[in-house]
Amino acid sequence: MFEAFWRETGDAAEIVIPGWQTMSYFSDVTNVCWFLEPGFDHEVRRLHRLVGNAAVDGYHVLVGTGSTQLFMAALYALSPPGADEPMSVVSTAPYYSSYPAVTDFLQSGLFKWAGDANAFNGDTYIELVCSPNNPDGSIREAVLASETGKAVHDLAYYWPQYTPITRRADHDIMLFTVSKSTGHAGTRIGWALVKDRGIAQKMTKFIELNTIGVSKDSQLRAAKVLKAVSDGYELAAEGKQGHHHHRLFDFGRRKMVERWSMLREAAAASGIFSLPEETSDYCNFTKEMAATNPAFAWLRCDREDVEDCASFLRTHKILTRSGSQFGADPRYVRVSMLDRDEAYDIFIKRLASLK
């Protein structure tokens, strides 16, 4: 979806890297995260200050190969070594399907997946809080509270194209990614904002042992992309010509509003699907009311004879992910709202025709 935007930005998000540059493992040996490119750190902080979605003062910025690597680093950092039992990792269902998959794939002795946070009994845990939530777009808070419990806030979708920005988030560990903010999933760059220095050091250690740092080339590209986003607003505000139409969040919100309206119409035309209620709130970034426009549609098939919605849709050439992968009922599926226009239009036509 974002490709159309970036095609229009000219050289604002382009970089050239001569052969002799970015050769070292190191970026800034005085920083806790010694492989973090200072230019990327700068643009991350600048963008959060512009959007107002997360606090950055007093936080360490850590870079990861996608926020996926930082998620693993957080599990490592929050699980004490030598404990009797692996740390329980939980999240309210429906939860992002990678959480259980990534948590358990190496069968670590440090942590293990323990399912739905609402069904968890105990004081020691890591709760993953995804808000707006993948797959259903809901706005979430931690549901567990204890002295020894820890939370990781995955704020991948807490950007103005998806949801009104209602507060400056200031949790202990917050994860973000260019995959969802700008659409550059292939650059494989995510970042964490971490309050505690000790935790930031442990997370950095994980990335050191896992991949000896994070591609500098990708960090430079991500920095340039984030810079183009901030410039689109700040240079326009200063009255410089030529930048006013390159406003990513305006583009993103316009697209998402249009797509959600098409989807609701198609579901109504079909008569056999239901979708989450639309909610709205005042957005501190745009200074106007805005609806939530989730990056995924959490679609329920209401037809009595359809127990497995993903299989039903597959027979009609619509590929989705089953609710069962998110700890939920297979009558639900998750549909991506971020494909290219052509694919999205075909999806809408096919969905509307189902009876």
Cβ atoms of residues 190 and 98 within 8 Å: no
Instruction: Give the binding-site size for ligand PMP (rule: CB under 6 A).
Output: 12
Binding piece for ligand PMP, criterion CB under 6 A, among 11-19, 66-74, 220-228, 260-268? 66-74
| 38-51 helix and 216-237 helix, angle to the nearest 10 degrees | 40
The residue within the footprint of ligand PMP, chosen from 44, 156, 200, 275 (CB under 6 A), is 156
Q: Does 136 bind ligand PMP (CB under 6 A)?
A: no
H/E stretch holding 288 reads strand 288-291
CA atoms within 13 A on the CB side of 282: 3
Q: Look up residue 54 and give its two tokens.
A: 């997360």
The residue within the footprint of ligand PMP, chosen from 41, 43, 127, 154 (CB under 6 A), is 154
Q: Does 68 bind ligand PMP (CB under 6 A)?
A: yes
H/E stretch holding 126 reads strand 125-130
* Separation of first and last alpha carbons in the chain: 28
**What is the smallest separation between the CB atom of 287 and ligand PMP, expressed in angstroms?**
27
The residue within the footprint of ligand PMP, chosen from 177, 204, 320, 325 (CB under 6 A), is 177
- Touching ligand PMP, residues 36-65 (CB under 6 A): none
Interaction mask 91-120, ligand PMP, x per CB under 6 A: -----x------------------------
Helices (H) and strands (E) in the chain, counts: 10, 13
Residues composing the chain? 355
Q: Does 31 bind ligand PMP (CB under 6 A)?
A: no
Across the strands, what pairs with 290?
Answer: 281
Residue nearer to ligand PMP on the CB measure, 96 or 312: 96
The residue within the footprint of ligand PMP, chosen from 190, 213, 252, 294 (CB under 6 A), is 190
Q: Name the amino acid, one letter, at 41.
A: D
What span, in angstroms and rounded, lies between the C-alpha atoms of 102 and 105? Answer: 5
Q: Name the amino acid, one letter, at 224.
A: K
The residue within the footprint of ligand PMP, chosen from 37, 48, 66, 126 (CB under 6 A), is 66
- Site residues for ligand PMP per CB under 6 A: 66-68, 96, 130, 134, 154, 156, 177, 179, 185, 190
